[in-house]
Amino acid sequence: MMRYEGQVALVTGAGRGLGRAAAEAFAREGAAVALVARRAEEIDEARSQIVSGGGKALAVRADVSDAASVSAAMRQVLDAFGRVDALVTCAAAEPAAGPSEELPLKDWQRVIDIDLTGAFLTCQAAGRVMLQQGYGRIVNLASFHVIATYPQRAAYAAAKTGVVGLTQALAVEWAGRGVTVNVVAPGPIRTPRTSWFLSKDPGNEAGMIGRTPSGQLGETSDVAALILFLCSKEAGHINGQNIVIDGGWTKNAWWGKHPWMG
C-alpha cells in the first residue's frame, strides 16, 4: 500500500526513536522524506537506509529551536522536493530531571526551546507552505506527561502541555484552509530513551508493564502507524485532537497485575 506516493513528509527528530520510525514508515508507503535533526550522523545513516531500500530521502541538519536554522532547513526541503504535505515534530530535548525548587533556569529553557518553541517554529514554517498549497497534515508529538506525570519533570510536562495548546490553536486557525493539526501523545514505548530508563532499575519495566492493561509496552511501529493515519487524506475530519497511544496505561488505576485477568 503506497498511501503517500507523490507526497513529501518532513520529520524532525528523525535520527532515532519515534522520529526515525515515522520517517521510515512514510518512505515505505511512497513518500519522499526530509529527515531533520541536529546530529548529522544519525540522519545520514537513516537516509542511507531509506535510499538503499528504494525510497527517496533528504538529510537536513537543523536546530529546531533556532528560527533561522528552521527557515534554512525548509528552503533545502523545498529546493529538493518542491512541497511539504506532512509534518511530524518529534524533536525533543533530554528531560531536565531534578527537584523543581532547584531546577536551573537554563535547563528549563533548553526543554522549552526545543520541545515547545521548536514545535512552533517548524509548524509555522511548514504551515506557510501548506496554506499556500491548500493542503497539509501536521502531527505534533507530546507525551503521556500531559495527562499523568512523574515527580521532577516540571519542564518536560510544561513543554508538552504547551504543545497540546499550540496544536489546538493552529487546528482552529488553519482548518478552513486545508490544514489539519493533531497531537500524538505516546505512553511507555520502547525507544532508546525509555530503554535507558528501564535499564536503570528492573522495577521500572515491571512497574510500567504491570500498570499497562495490555500487559506489554508499545513499540515505535505502533506510534508510526497512528502518525501515518493522521497524516492521510482519510483523516481529514480529525483535527485539534490529542490522541494518547499507551495500551490503556493512563486509564488504569491498578498498580500491578490484575488478579482477575489471569
The pLDDT value given to residue 243: 97
pLDDT in tens, 209-250: 777 888 888 899 999 999 999 999 999 999 999 999 998 888
Q: Which of 4, 135, 150, 156 is catalytic?
A: 156
Whether the Cβ atoms of residue 31 and residue 81 lie closer than 8 Å to each other: no
The pLDDT value given to residue 14: 97
Dihedral over alpha carbons 157, 220, 139, 188 (to 10 degrees): -20
Residue 1 lies in a domain: no
Residue 3 lies in a domain: no
Catalytic residue flag (residue 150): no
Give the SS3 label for residue 20: helix
| Averaged pLDDT of the chain | 92
pTM above 0.85, yes or no: yes
Q: CA 162, CA 158: separation in Å to the nearest integer?
A: 6
Q: In the predicted model, what is the mean pLDDT of residues 147-168?
A: 92
Q: In the predicted model, what is the mean pLDDT of residues 83-99?
A: 92
Structural domain for 119, as ranges: 8-261
For residue 73, the domain's CATH number is 3.40.50.720
pLDDT above 70 for 262 = no
pLDDT above 80 for 203 = no
pLDDT above 80 for 206 = no
Q: In the predicted model, what is the mean pLDDT of residues 69-76?
A: 98
Query: Structural domain tally of the chain?
Result: 1
Q: Identify the DSSP state of 93.
A: P
